[in-house]
Each structure stands twice: as C-alpha cells, then as structure tokens.
Amino acid sequence: DQSPDTHAYRQTGHYGSKFGLSWEEAQIAARRIAQAPHLQLTGLHAHIGSQFFDLKPLFRAIDRLAALAAWVQGQGLGEVRYFSPGGGLGVPYHPDDPAPRLVEAVRGLSEYAARAWQERVGGPYSTLALEPGRSLIARAGLALYTVGAMRHLTTGQRIIAVDGGMSDNLRPALYGARYTAALAHAPLAPTAGPARIVGPLCESGDFLIDSIDLPKAHPGDVLVVPGSGAYHLSMASNYNGMLRPAVWLHARGKLIPMQRRETVADLLRRDFPLPPQ
C-alpha cells in the first residue's frame, strides 16, 4: 500500500488499486503456491507507480518486500531469490521537472535494498531487479510535428495546430502531462508570446502543450517535442483516421528507418467487403 507523488492514473500500489495484492492476500498467495505441486515461490515483486522523483515510497516498498520475504522464509514457504520494487523513476519532460539522477537513484535503491535485506531477512542476499522503463528511453525520442493552421486570440495567445496530438501522444489528454517544444529551424529565437499547441482531432482535449512561449511560427515549420521515447507510440491510436508517423533511428550520424508511416490501406486492412445484396 504505497503511493508515489504522481498523477493518480499513474499510481498502482495503493490499497484498492486494481493491481497487485494486499499484505494479507500476498500471504494467502504464498501459502497456496507452497501447497501447489508445480509452483515454487522464488521472488517478490512490486510496482507502485510511474513518473515520480521522490524515492521514499520506493524505499518503503523495498521495506515491505523484505518484510514479506522474511515472513515467507520464516514460514518455510519458499526461498526469495529475486525481489523487485518495479520501475517508475521520473524523467524531465518540462523545464519545471527535476534533473535526471538515474545513477544516484539506482545506487541509492541498491544500497537501501541491501541494508533492508540484511536487517529484515538476513542470510544470502537475493537478486535485486529494477525495472526502469521510461527512465532509460523517454529522452531517446524526439517527436517532430509540422505546423499547420494558426489562430491569434485577442488575448495575445496563439493556437498552433500541428499534424499530431492525442493520436500519437495521449499523455497530455490522459493525465495532463506537460512538455516543452522548440521550432527546429530556430530553437533559440526570441519568444513571440504564449502558444497552445493542439492536434487536428475533434476533441478539445487533443492538445500537446497547454501553454508555451514560442518564437513566431509559420505553417510548414517543424516543431520538436523532446522526451517522446516512451508511452507515446505504444499508446497511439487511429482515432479520426489518424495515421501513425514513421519512426527513424538516428545512430552514428545516420538515419535508419525503423517503422514506415501508416497509410490509408493500413486503416482498412481489417475491414471485410460488404456482402452482396
């Protein structure tokens, strides 16, 4: 029952969550595994949520896992050789987010886990497994959009529509995720005031950035959104007939195609022809 400081939709370890087992359920599960002829309890796992920076809830999850391991082994129900507090380490998407401290975090977690194991379980140390997801790959991805229509509001704000949005990055619509962006040809040009970056779909929730100071933009300009390497295309959809973009790998000075852009034929490929009248 642990909750990191993150959006409620990214919490998974709280009581009443659809995920995981309560302490009592875990004890029942351990007994049932011990009684099952073809099962062996060899590891314990938790995942308390995603995209958080304060590691204290992860430390508490480690304490709980070590306490459960001590109970499992004390009851003779198994030998816990692996234990994992899951993933969730946050990455900066927006200038207000803290700087990444992946190495420090991994060091802190492994030192804490070794101590917790020693204090609560003793005996041979089990293998600690960490499950870094976005902290490894989110910053490896840049999403490129082309600027289309623009509106200038009387408040001075611009609404800039680009050729993608919630269909290739659901995170702003799903949980208000905040991003930064730059114009590819003029990343450091002076701002021309605030802009809202929106997609072309028939949803007011179809936006990428609620408000960002951007230089003057023109239709055809390329807008770059960093931090697009995780939970973007894996959540992409064809809503409103949107076509998923192509994916390129930039490695050793070369651009290598990884996925081609979708076509209308891709959208239709599961459709059956209507039966003859």
Ligand X SMILES: Cc1ncc(COP(=O)(O)O)c(C=O)c1O
Question: For ligand X, which is the closer residue by CB, 105 or 212?
Answer: 105
CB of 100 to ligand X, least distance (A): 12
Binding site for ligand X (CB under 6 A): 47, 50-51, 86-89, 131-135
Catalytic residue among 202, 251, 264, 265: 202
Which residues pair with residue 270 across a beta bridge? none
**Cβ neighbours of 37 (radius 10 Å):** 4
Pick from 102, 103, 58, 104: nearest CA to 84: 58
Chain position carrying tokens 């950035």: 209
The nearer residue to ligand X, 50 or 126, going by C-beta atoms, is 50
Supply the Cα-derived Rg of the chain in whole angstroms.
24
Instruction: Work out how close the CB of 218 gets to ligand X at its nearest, in angstroms, rounded to a whole number.
Output: 36
Closest CA to 248 of 233, 231, 263, 266: 233
Q: Which residue is nearest to ligand X (CB)?
A: 133
- Cβ at position 266, least distance to ligand X in Å: 27
How many residues comprise the chain? 277
Which CB atom, from 84 or from 167, has the smaller least distance to ligand X?
84
CB neighbour list of residue 199: distance below 8 Å, 6 or more residues apart: 161, 162, 163, 164, 165, 166, 167, 206, 207, 208
State the minimum distance, in angstroms, from the CB of residue 126 to ligand X. 18
Contact criterion met (CB below 8 Å) for 198 and 165: yes
Nearer to ligand X, 103 or 265 (CB): 103
Is 29 labeled as catalytic in the residue annotation?
Answer: no
The catalytic residues are: 202
